Structures are given as C-alpha cells and as structure tokens.
Amino acid sequence: MLSSLLVFSLLCTCTTWPDSLLRHRYADVLVHRLLAASLGLAPLPESARDRAGVHALTDNLNTRHRNAQMAGRASVELHTLIFFKDRTIIADARITRVSHLK
C-alpha cells in the first residue's frame, strides 16, 4: 500500500514541484535514485554501479542541457529581432548609472 503512495523516484508522499512529474529531467531522477540509495531507502540501481558510465551519462546530460539553454536564448533573440524589425519604438526610460570607459 505504501509503495502506491510514493512519488516516482523521490520515495516520499508529496512533491514540491509545481509541474508534471513526467517532465523532470532524467538527471533529476538519477540524483534522487542515488540519494535514496545513499540514505539506505532504496537499493542502488544496477545502472548506477558503473562509475565511468554514470560520468559519461552526466557529461552528456549536461552538454544537452547547455545546448538547449543556448538554443532557447538564441530563439528569443531571433524572435525579438523579427518583432522589432521595421518598427519604431518610443518608450520612457531612466538612466540608472553612468560609467566611464577606461
């Protein structure tokens, strides 16, 4: 009965995440499984016993995450440029700091 109440990969009955559990990054799932194993709450997954494999996996996950961040930022920049192309924008502004170039 208790296992049916536990949140996937967290081994707790609640979650503080505001979005769907299905959208969590695999890296988060991996960390929670390793944490549960280190606390003695669950056995260490067989896939986590290979240190070199876990290292390669986390390097790949970090590279993909970084690439996704850069792609998102580039997309925002591109669509901002497209939006403001051939438009004149008049807006109020305040000078908050003046610095001298050296």
Per the CB < 8 A criterion, the answer to whether 38 and 18 are in contact is: no
Q: Which amino acid is at 58?
A: T
Radius of gyration of the chain (CA): 23
Where residue 18 falls (left for φ over 0; alpha for ψ -120 to 50; beta otherwise) is: alpha
Render pLDDT for 44-101 as a digit per residue (tens, 0 to 9). 988 889 999 999 988 998 898 899 999 999 999 999 999 999 999 899 999 999 988 7
Torsion of CA 25, 26, 27, 28, to 10 degrees: 60
Render pLDDT for 26-48 as a digit per residue (tens, 0 to 9). 888 888 888 889 999 999 988 88
pTM, 2 dp: 0.58
Q: Which amino acid is at 82?
A: I
Find all residues with CB under 8 Å of 58, minimum gap 6, and list them: 27, 30
